[in-house]
Chain A
Amino acid sequence: MKGRFYRLTRDLHLYLGLFISPFVLVFSISVFSFVHSWIPSLAPETVNTRVVSAVALPGDLEKLSGRPLIDALKPILENMNIRGEIGFVRHLVKEEKLIIPVSIPGRATTVSINLAGHEATVVSRETGLADALVTLHRSPGQHGPDIRMNWFYIKAWRWFADATVYLTLFISVSGIYLWYMLRVERRVGFILLVAGTLSFFGIAYALSH
Protein backbone atom coordinates (compact mmCIF):
# COMPACT_ATOMS: atom_id res chain seq x y z
CA MET A 1 0.00 0.00 0.00
CA LYS A 2 2.83 2.35 1.03
CA GLY A 3 4.83 1.44 -2.10
CA ARG A 4 1.78 2.06 -4.28
CA PHE A 5 1.20 5.48 -2.75
CA TYR A 6 4.87 6.34 -3.23
CA ARG A 7 4.81 5.28 -6.90
CA LEU A 8 1.57 7.17 -7.53
CA THR A 9 2.96 10.32 -5.89
CA ARG A 10 6.20 9.99 -7.87
CA ASP A 11 4.34 9.60 -11.16
CA LEU A 12 2.01 12.50 -10.46
CA HIS A 13 4.99 14.62 -9.43
CA LEU A 14 6.68 13.79 -12.73
CA TYR A 15 3.76 14.14 -15.14
CA LEU A 16 2.10 17.17 -13.55
CA GLY A 17 5.53 18.78 -13.28
CA LEU A 18 6.16 18.16 -16.97
CA PHE A 19 2.80 19.69 -17.87
CA ILE A 20 3.32 22.91 -15.94
CA SER A 21 7.04 23.21 -16.71
CA PRO A 22 6.56 25.54 -19.73
CA PHE A 23 4.34 27.80 -17.60
CA VAL A 24 6.91 27.80 -14.79
CA LEU A 25 9.52 28.84 -17.37
CA VAL A 26 7.30 31.71 -18.56
CA PHE A 27 6.89 33.01 -15.02
CA SER A 28 10.55 32.47 -14.10
CA ILE A 29 12.17 33.96 -17.19
CA SER A 30 9.98 37.07 -17.07
CA VAL A 31 11.03 37.69 -13.45
CA PHE A 32 14.38 39.04 -14.72
CA SER A 33 12.55 41.63 -16.80
CA PHE A 34 10.53 42.80 -13.81
CA VAL A 35 13.48 42.91 -11.44
CA HIS A 36 15.81 44.72 -13.83
CA SER A 37 13.24 46.73 -15.84
CA TRP A 38 14.72 45.27 -18.97
CA ILE A 39 12.97 43.54 -21.82
CA PRO A 40 15.38 41.95 -24.30
CA SER A 41 14.36 42.03 -27.91
CA LEU A 42 15.80 39.78 -30.57
CA ALA A 43 14.37 41.76 -33.45
CA PRO A 44 13.55 45.46 -33.79
CA GLU A 45 10.00 46.43 -32.88
CA THR A 46 7.81 46.81 -35.93
CA VAL A 47 5.14 49.49 -35.97
CA ASN A 48 2.16 49.42 -38.26
CA THR A 49 -0.18 52.41 -38.58
CA ARG A 50 -3.48 52.56 -40.41
CA VAL A 51 -6.50 54.83 -40.49
CA VAL A 52 -10.05 53.53 -40.48
CA SER A 53 -12.76 55.93 -41.56
CA ALA A 54 -16.55 55.85 -41.24
CA VAL A 55 -16.38 54.01 -37.92
CA ALA A 56 -19.89 53.21 -36.69
CA LEU A 57 -20.17 54.46 -33.11
CA PRO A 58 -23.15 54.13 -30.77
CA GLY A 59 -24.60 57.48 -29.71
CA ASP A 60 -24.07 57.05 -25.96
CA LEU A 61 -20.43 55.94 -26.16
CA GLU A 62 -19.12 59.12 -24.50
CA LYS A 63 -21.35 58.60 -21.47
CA LEU A 64 -20.18 55.05 -20.81
CA SER A 65 -17.38 53.96 -18.51
CA GLY A 66 -16.01 50.79 -16.96
CA ARG A 67 -17.33 47.45 -18.16
CA PRO A 68 -20.26 48.88 -20.22
CA LEU A 69 -17.74 50.96 -22.17
CA ILE A 70 -15.57 47.90 -22.81
CA ASP A 71 -18.63 45.94 -23.94
CA ALA A 72 -19.61 48.75 -26.29
CA LEU A 73 -16.10 49.03 -27.72
CA LYS A 74 -15.69 45.31 -28.44
CA PRO A 75 -17.89 45.15 -31.60
CA ILE A 76 -16.41 48.44 -32.84
CA LEU A 77 -12.89 47.05 -32.54
CA GLU A 78 -13.91 43.72 -34.06
CA ASN A 79 -15.25 45.60 -37.09
CA MET A 80 -11.79 47.10 -37.45
CA ASN A 81 -10.30 43.61 -37.15
CA ILE A 82 -8.65 44.38 -33.80
CA ARG A 83 -8.72 41.69 -31.18
CA GLY A 84 -7.21 41.42 -27.74
CA GLU A 85 -7.57 42.50 -24.14
CA ILE A 86 -8.82 46.08 -23.81
CA GLY A 87 -7.01 48.08 -21.13
CA PHE A 88 -7.83 51.36 -19.39
CA VAL A 89 -9.61 53.62 -21.88
CA ARG A 90 -8.79 57.33 -21.73
CA HIS A 91 -11.40 59.85 -22.75
CA LEU A 92 -9.92 63.14 -23.92
CA VAL A 93 -13.00 65.33 -23.61
CA LYS A 94 -11.60 68.48 -25.25
CA GLU A 95 -10.17 66.61 -28.21
CA GLU A 96 -13.28 64.39 -28.43
CA LYS A 97 -11.11 61.33 -28.54
CA LEU A 98 -11.00 57.89 -27.01
CA ILE A 99 -7.60 56.29 -26.57
CA ILE A 100 -7.99 52.53 -26.33
CA PRO A 101 -5.06 50.22 -25.56
CA VAL A 102 -5.57 46.68 -26.82
CA SER A 103 -3.05 43.97 -26.10
CA ILE A 104 -2.26 40.50 -27.30
CA PRO A 105 0.87 38.97 -25.72
CA GLY A 106 3.64 40.29 -27.96
CA ARG A 107 1.56 42.96 -29.62
CA ALA A 108 0.40 46.32 -28.30
CA THR A 109 -2.22 48.20 -30.26
CA THR A 110 -3.40 51.73 -29.55
CA VAL A 111 -6.64 52.82 -31.14
CA SER A 112 -7.45 56.55 -31.15
CA ILE A 113 -11.06 57.13 -32.07
CA ASN A 114 -12.05 60.60 -33.15
CA LEU A 115 -15.62 60.72 -31.89
CA ALA A 116 -16.66 63.71 -33.98
CA GLY A 117 -15.06 62.56 -37.22
CA HIS A 118 -15.90 58.85 -36.76
CA GLU A 119 -12.33 58.05 -37.67
CA ALA A 120 -9.84 55.79 -35.95
CA THR A 121 -6.07 55.67 -36.06
CA VAL A 122 -4.70 52.23 -35.27
CA VAL A 123 -1.06 51.92 -34.23
CA SER A 124 0.07 48.34 -33.78
CA ARG A 125 3.49 47.42 -32.33
CA GLU A 126 4.95 43.92 -32.49
CA THR A 127 6.82 43.85 -29.19
CA GLY A 128 8.30 40.35 -29.30
CA LEU A 129 8.45 37.20 -27.22
CA ALA A 130 10.09 38.68 -24.10
CA ASP A 131 7.39 41.34 -23.87
CA ALA A 132 4.76 38.62 -24.38
CA LEU A 133 6.13 36.75 -21.35
CA VAL A 134 6.03 39.93 -19.26
CA THR A 135 2.45 40.64 -20.35
CA LEU A 136 1.41 37.10 -19.49
CA HIS A 137 3.19 37.21 -16.12
CA ARG A 138 1.10 40.19 -15.00
CA SER A 139 -2.17 39.11 -16.63
CA PRO A 140 -4.89 39.57 -15.61
CA GLY A 141 -3.34 41.21 -12.55
CA GLN A 142 -4.70 43.06 -9.57
CA HIS A 143 -5.80 46.36 -11.13
CA GLY A 144 -9.18 47.10 -12.65
CA PRO A 145 -10.93 43.83 -11.88
CA ASP A 146 -14.20 45.22 -13.25
CA ILE A 147 -12.77 45.67 -16.73
CA ARG A 148 -10.14 42.94 -16.89
CA MET A 149 -10.47 39.61 -18.69
CA ASN A 150 -12.63 41.12 -21.40
CA TRP A 151 -11.00 38.83 -23.97
CA PHE A 152 -11.59 35.09 -23.75
CA TYR A 153 -7.91 34.18 -24.09
CA ILE A 154 -6.86 36.28 -21.10
CA LYS A 155 -9.63 34.64 -19.10
CA ALA A 156 -8.27 31.26 -20.25
CA TRP A 157 -4.75 32.36 -19.33
CA ARG A 158 -5.94 32.99 -15.79
CA TRP A 159 -7.22 29.42 -15.59
CA PHE A 160 -3.80 28.17 -16.63
CA ALA A 161 -2.01 30.57 -14.28
CA ASP A 162 -4.22 29.43 -11.40
CA ALA A 163 -3.66 25.79 -12.35
CA THR A 164 0.10 26.45 -12.36
CA VAL A 165 -0.14 27.71 -8.78
CA TYR A 166 -2.25 24.79 -7.55
CA LEU A 167 -0.03 22.26 -9.28
CA THR A 168 3.12 24.01 -8.03
CA LEU A 169 1.79 23.68 -4.50
CA PHE A 170 1.04 19.99 -5.09
CA ILE A 171 4.43 19.37 -6.69
CA SER A 172 6.28 21.09 -3.85
CA VAL A 173 4.44 19.11 -1.18
CA SER A 174 4.84 15.83 -3.08
CA GLY A 175 8.51 16.73 -3.63
CA ILE A 176 8.98 17.06 0.14
CA TYR A 177 7.36 13.65 0.61
CA LEU A 178 9.56 12.05 -2.07
CA TRP A 179 12.69 13.57 -0.55
CA TYR A 180 11.70 12.44 2.93
CA MET A 181 11.37 8.88 1.69
CA LEU A 182 15.06 8.94 0.69
CA ARG A 183 16.55 8.13 4.07
CA VAL A 184 20.16 8.89 3.10
CA GLU A 185 19.27 12.38 1.85
CA ARG A 186 17.33 13.44 4.92
CA ARG A 187 20.22 15.08 6.75
CA VAL A 188 21.51 17.30 3.93
CA GLY A 189 17.98 18.04 2.76
CA PHE A 190 16.92 19.04 6.24
CA ILE A 191 19.89 21.40 6.59
CA LEU A 192 19.00 23.04 3.27
CA LEU A 193 15.33 23.26 4.20
CA VAL A 194 16.22 25.01 7.45
CA ALA A 195 18.74 27.28 5.69
CA GLY A 196 16.14 28.27 3.08
CA THR A 197 13.48 28.84 5.72
CA LEU A 198 15.81 31.03 7.79
CA SER A 199 16.87 33.00 4.71
CA PHE A 200 13.31 33.58 3.65
CA PHE A 201 11.95 34.62 7.02
CA GLY A 202 15.12 36.57 7.82
CA ILE A 203 14.87 38.71 4.69
CA ALA A 204 11.08 39.10 4.98
CA TYR A 205 11.43 40.16 8.61
CA ALA A 206 14.20 42.66 7.85
CA LEU A 207 12.14 44.16 5.01
CA SER A 208 8.95 44.55 6.96
CA HIS A 209 10.22 45.63 10.41
Chain B
Amino acid sequence: MPSAIEPPVPLMPKNGARLRAGFERWNRKLHFYSGLFLIFFLWLFAFTGLLLNHPSWTFHEFWKNRQQTNYERVIAPPGPNVNGDLGQARDIMKQLGIDGEILWTTTRTEASQLDFQVRRPGHFFVIKANWAQKRAAVQRSDVNLWGVMKILHTFTGNVADDPRNTRDWALTFLWAYSMDAVAAGLIYMVLSSWYMWLRLPQKRFPGAIVLGLGLLSCGLFCMGLRWLF
Protein backbone atom coordinates (compact mmCIF):
# COMPACT_ATOMS: atom_id res chain seq x y z
CA MET B 1 0.00 0.00 0.00
CA PRO B 2 1.74 3.22 -1.09
CA SER B 3 1.90 6.08 1.35
CA ALA B 4 0.90 9.65 0.52
CA ILE B 5 4.51 10.87 0.19
CA GLU B 6 5.59 8.22 -2.34
CA PRO B 7 5.84 9.25 -6.00
CA PRO B 8 2.36 8.95 -7.45
CA VAL B 9 2.98 7.13 -10.77
CA PRO B 10 5.55 4.37 -10.35
CA LEU B 11 3.69 1.94 -12.67
CA MET B 12 3.96 3.92 -15.90
CA PRO B 13 7.77 4.04 -16.11
CA LYS B 14 7.95 0.36 -15.18
CA ASN B 15 5.48 -0.54 -17.90
CA GLY B 16 7.22 1.84 -20.25
CA ALA B 17 10.58 0.27 -19.54
CA ARG B 18 9.13 -3.20 -20.03
CA LEU B 19 7.53 -2.16 -23.29
CA ARG B 20 10.77 -0.63 -24.48
CA ALA B 21 12.74 -3.73 -23.53
CA GLY B 22 10.22 -5.88 -25.38
CA PHE B 23 10.36 -3.59 -28.40
CA GLU B 24 14.16 -3.67 -28.40
CA ARG B 25 14.25 -7.46 -28.14
CA TRP B 26 11.79 -7.92 -30.98
CA ASN B 27 13.34 -5.20 -33.09
CA ARG B 28 16.65 -7.04 -32.86
CA LYS B 29 15.08 -10.43 -33.53
CA LEU B 30 13.07 -9.17 -36.51
CA HIS B 31 16.18 -7.47 -37.90
CA PHE B 32 18.03 -10.73 -38.36
CA TYR B 33 14.90 -12.80 -39.05
CA SER B 34 14.11 -10.53 -42.02
CA GLY B 35 17.72 -10.67 -43.14
CA LEU B 36 17.77 -14.46 -43.01
CA PHE B 37 14.47 -14.80 -44.87
CA LEU B 38 15.48 -12.35 -47.60
CA ILE B 39 19.11 -13.38 -47.94
CA PHE B 40 18.86 -15.05 -51.37
CA PHE B 41 16.63 -12.30 -52.75
CA LEU B 42 19.15 -9.76 -51.47
CA TRP B 43 22.12 -11.59 -52.97
CA LEU B 44 20.34 -11.88 -56.32
CA PHE B 45 19.46 -8.19 -56.55
CA ALA B 46 22.84 -7.01 -55.22
CA PHE B 47 24.91 -9.26 -57.44
CA THR B 48 22.88 -8.71 -60.61
CA GLY B 49 22.87 -4.97 -59.90
CA LEU B 50 26.65 -5.13 -60.04
CA LEU B 51 26.52 -7.06 -63.32
CA LEU B 52 24.04 -4.65 -64.87
CA ASN B 53 26.34 -1.75 -63.99
CA HIS B 54 29.26 -3.51 -65.69
CA PRO B 55 28.08 -4.50 -69.17
CA SER B 56 31.70 -4.61 -70.34
CA TRP B 57 32.41 -7.64 -68.14
CA THR B 58 32.05 -10.34 -70.75
CA PHE B 59 31.67 -13.40 -68.53
CA HIS B 60 27.98 -12.69 -67.90
CA GLU B 61 27.08 -12.14 -71.54
CA PHE B 62 23.87 -14.03 -72.32
CA TRP B 63 22.22 -12.67 -75.44
CA LYS B 64 25.13 -13.48 -77.75
CA ASN B 65 25.22 -17.00 -76.34
CA ARG B 66 21.50 -17.65 -76.72
CA GLN B 67 20.11 -20.74 -78.38
CA GLN B 68 17.55 -19.86 -80.98
CA THR B 69 14.98 -22.12 -82.60
CA ASN B 70 12.32 -21.31 -85.17
CA TYR B 71 9.19 -23.32 -85.77
CA GLU B 72 5.67 -23.08 -87.11
CA ARG B 73 2.48 -24.49 -85.69
CA VAL B 74 -1.04 -24.83 -86.97
CA ILE B 75 -3.45 -22.70 -84.94
CA ALA B 76 -7.20 -22.40 -84.77
CA PRO B 77 -8.86 -18.98 -84.99
CA PRO B 78 -9.94 -17.57 -81.63
CA GLY B 79 -13.45 -18.45 -80.49
CA PRO B 80 -16.28 -15.91 -80.26
CA ASN B 81 -15.69 -15.47 -76.52
CA VAL B 82 -12.11 -14.30 -77.01
CA ASN B 83 -11.94 -10.52 -76.97
CA GLY B 84 -9.21 -7.99 -77.57
CA ASP B 85 -5.52 -8.35 -78.36
CA LEU B 86 -4.73 -9.70 -74.90
CA GLY B 87 -7.43 -12.37 -75.06
CA GLN B 88 -6.36 -13.42 -78.55
CA ALA B 89 -2.69 -13.53 -77.56
CA ARG B 90 -3.53 -15.70 -74.55
CA ASP B 91 -5.57 -18.01 -76.78
CA ILE B 92 -2.64 -18.44 -79.16
CA MET B 93 -0.21 -18.99 -76.26
CA LYS B 94 -2.49 -21.68 -74.88
CA GLN B 95 -2.54 -23.42 -78.25
CA LEU B 96 1.25 -23.18 -78.49
CA GLY B 97 1.86 -24.23 -74.89
CA ILE B 98 3.71 -21.02 -74.03
CA ASP B 99 3.50 -19.23 -70.70
CA GLY B 100 4.91 -15.84 -69.82
CA GLU B 101 4.57 -12.09 -69.80
CA ILE B 102 3.23 -10.58 -73.02
CA LEU B 103 5.17 -7.70 -74.54
CA TRP B 104 3.57 -5.58 -77.24
CA THR B 105 6.16 -4.22 -79.62
CA THR B 106 4.22 -3.60 -82.83
CA THR B 107 0.97 -1.96 -83.79
CA ARG B 108 -1.63 -4.23 -85.28
CA THR B 109 -2.35 -3.60 -88.95
CA GLU B 110 -4.51 -6.60 -89.96
CA ALA B 111 -7.38 -8.22 -88.11
CA SER B 112 -6.15 -11.75 -88.94
CA GLN B 113 -2.54 -11.05 -87.94
CA LEU B 114 -1.23 -10.69 -84.41
CA ASP B 115 2.45 -10.17 -83.65
CA PHE B 116 3.69 -10.08 -80.10
CA GLN B 117 6.45 -11.25 -77.80
CA VAL B 118 6.34 -13.39 -74.70
CA ARG B 119 9.03 -13.19 -72.06
CA ARG B 120 9.93 -15.06 -68.95
CA PRO B 121 13.31 -15.28 -67.26
CA GLY B 122 15.44 -17.48 -69.48
CA HIS B 123 13.10 -17.60 -72.48
CA PHE B 124 12.00 -15.15 -75.15
CA PHE B 125 9.36 -15.87 -77.77
CA VAL B 126 8.56 -13.79 -80.84
CA ILE B 127 5.18 -14.92 -82.14
CA LYS B 128 3.62 -14.02 -85.48
CA ALA B 129 0.16 -15.52 -85.72
CA ASN B 130 -2.00 -15.44 -88.81
CA TRP B 131 -5.51 -16.86 -88.64
CA ALA B 132 -6.11 -16.53 -92.38
CA GLN B 133 -3.23 -18.97 -92.92
CA LYS B 134 -4.03 -20.83 -89.67
CA ARG B 135 -0.36 -20.74 -88.75
CA ALA B 136 1.82 -19.21 -86.09
CA ALA B 137 5.55 -18.67 -86.57
CA VAL B 138 7.52 -18.81 -83.34
CA GLN B 139 11.08 -17.73 -82.73
CA ARG B 140 12.26 -19.05 -79.38
CA SER B 141 15.45 -17.88 -77.67
CA ASP B 142 16.80 -19.56 -74.57
CA VAL B 143 19.49 -17.83 -72.54
CA ASN B 144 21.94 -19.04 -69.92
CA LEU B 145 21.82 -18.72 -66.13
CA TRP B 146 23.39 -15.23 -66.21
CA GLY B 147 20.54 -14.17 -68.44
CA VAL B 148 17.95 -15.65 -66.07
CA MET B 149 19.50 -13.84 -63.11
CA LYS B 150 19.77 -10.47 -64.81
CA ILE B 151 16.24 -10.65 -66.18
CA LEU B 152 14.93 -11.43 -62.69
CA HIS B 153 16.43 -8.12 -61.56
CA THR B 154 14.25 -6.13 -63.96
CA PHE B 155 11.27 -8.44 -64.49
CA THR B 156 8.36 -6.27 -63.39
CA GLY B 157 6.03 -6.74 -66.37
CA ASN B 158 5.76 -2.99 -66.81
CA VAL B 159 7.46 -0.87 -69.41
CA ALA B 160 8.04 2.74 -68.34
CA ASP B 161 5.83 5.27 -70.15
CA ASP B 162 4.03 2.54 -72.10
CA PRO B 163 0.54 1.91 -70.69
CA ARG B 164 -0.04 -0.92 -73.18
CA ASN B 165 2.66 -3.03 -71.57
CA THR B 166 1.46 -3.86 -68.10
CA ARG B 167 1.67 -7.05 -66.02
CA ASP B 168 -0.52 -9.80 -67.40
CA TRP B 169 0.95 -13.03 -66.04
CA ALA B 170 0.21 -14.31 -62.54
CA LEU B 171 3.84 -15.20 -61.86
CA THR B 172 4.97 -11.70 -62.85
CA PHE B 173 2.58 -10.36 -60.21
CA LEU B 174 4.09 -12.75 -57.67
CA TRP B 175 7.64 -11.72 -58.55
CA ALA B 176 6.77 -8.00 -58.62
CA TYR B 177 5.22 -8.20 -55.16
CA SER B 178 8.26 -10.16 -53.99
CA MET B 179 10.38 -7.22 -55.13
CA ASP B 180 8.13 -4.91 -53.10
CA ALA B 181 8.51 -7.19 -50.09
CA VAL B 182 12.31 -7.29 -50.42
CA ALA B 183 12.43 -3.48 -50.69
CA ALA B 184 10.13 -3.08 -47.67
CA GLY B 185 12.22 -5.63 -45.75
CA LEU B 186 15.42 -3.72 -46.52
CA ILE B 187 13.89 -0.41 -45.47
CA TYR B 188 12.82 -2.04 -42.22
CA MET B 189 16.32 -3.48 -41.70
CA VAL B 190 17.90 -0.05 -42.17
CA LEU B 191 15.49 1.63 -39.75
CA SER B 192 15.80 -1.13 -37.16
CA SER B 193 19.60 -0.97 -37.39
CA TRP B 194 19.52 2.78 -36.76
CA TYR B 195 17.41 2.17 -33.66
CA MET B 196 19.75 -0.55 -32.37
CA TRP B 197 22.76 1.68 -32.95
CA LEU B 198 21.16 4.58 -31.06
CA ARG B 199 20.61 2.27 -28.07
CA LEU B 200 24.40 1.76 -27.81
CA PRO B 201 25.71 4.93 -26.10
CA GLN B 202 29.39 4.08 -26.59
CA LYS B 203 28.88 3.61 -30.37
CA ARG B 204 26.77 6.69 -30.96
CA PHE B 205 29.57 9.08 -31.80
CA PRO B 206 31.63 6.93 -34.19
CA GLY B 207 28.37 5.64 -35.67
CA ALA B 208 27.13 9.20 -36.21
CA ILE B 209 30.34 10.06 -38.08
CA VAL B 210 30.05 7.03 -40.34
CA LEU B 211 26.32 7.51 -40.94
CA GLY B 212 26.92 11.22 -41.53
CA LEU B 213 29.52 10.40 -44.18
CA GLY B 214 27.08 8.02 -45.84
CA LEU B 215 24.28 10.58 -45.74
CA LEU B 216 26.51 13.33 -47.09
CA SER B 217 27.84 11.31 -49.98
CA CYS B 218 24.44 9.87 -50.84
CA GLY B 219 22.74 13.25 -50.39
CA LEU B 220 25.21 14.79 -52.82
CA PHE B 221 23.87 12.55 -55.58
CA CYS B 222 20.20 12.67 -54.59
CA MET B 223 19.88 16.41 -54.03
CA GLY B 224 23.24 18.14 -54.00
CA LEU B 225 24.06 17.86 -57.70
CA ARG B 226 20.95 19.83 -58.62
CA TRP B 227 22.03 22.63 -56.32
CA LEU B 228 25.63 22.59 -57.47
CA PHE B 229 24.94 22.57 -61.21
Q: Are A and B part of the same complex?
A: yes
Q: Pick from A161, A179, A185: contact of B49, CB below 8 A.
A: A161
Q: Is the CB of A14 within 8 A of B207?
A: yes
Q: Is the CB of B207 within 8 A of A83?
A: no
User: How many Cβ-Cβ contacts under 8 Å join chain A to chain B?
Assistant: 191
Indicate with 1 or 0, residue by residue over B101-127, a CB within 8 angstroms of chain A CB atoms: 000000000000000000011110000
Number of A residues contacting the other chain (C-beta, 8 Å)?
71
Indicate with 1 or 0, residue by residue over B65-90, a CB within 8 angstroms of chain A CB atoms: 00000000000000000000000000
Measured in the bound complex, the distance between the Cα atoms of B38 and A168 in whole Å is 13
B123 to chain A, nearest CB (A): 7
Chain A residue numbers with a CB within 8 Å of B93 are none
| A35-B156, A208-B148 as given contacts; A203 in contact with B39, CB under 8 Å | no
A208 to chain B, nearest CB (A): 4
Q: Is the CB of B53 within 8 A of A18?
A: no
Chain B residues at the A interface, C-beta cutoff of 8 Å: 29, 32-33, 35-44, 46-47, 49-50, 52-53, 55-56, 120-123, 148, 150, 152, 154-156, 158-160, 166, 171, 174-180, 182-184, 186-187, 189-190, 193-194, 197, 203, 206-207, 210-211, 213-215, 217-219, 221-223, 225-226, 229
Most central of A18, A83, A104, A196 by chain B CB within 10 Å: A18
Q: Is the CB of A26 within 8 A of B39?
A: no
Measured in the bound complex, the distance between the Cα atoms of B148 and A189 in whole Å is 29
Most central of B46, B47, B197, B203 by chain A CB within 10 Å: B46
Chain B residue numbers with a CB within 8 Å of A172 are 35, 39, 42-43
A182 to chain B, nearest CB (A): 8
Q: Pick from A17, A35, A104, A197: contact of B179, CB below 8 A.
A: A35
Chain A residues at the B interface, C-beta cutoff of 8 Å: 11, 14-29, 31-32, 34-37, 83-84, 104-107, 126, 129, 132-133, 136, 140-143, 145, 153, 157-158, 160-162, 164-165, 168-169, 172, 175-176, 178-179, 185, 188-189, 192-193, 195-197, 199-201, 203-204, 206-209
Q: Pick from A18, A133, A176: contact of B214, CB below 8 A.
A: A18
Q: Pick from A17, A106, A195: contact of B223, CB below 8 A.
A: A106
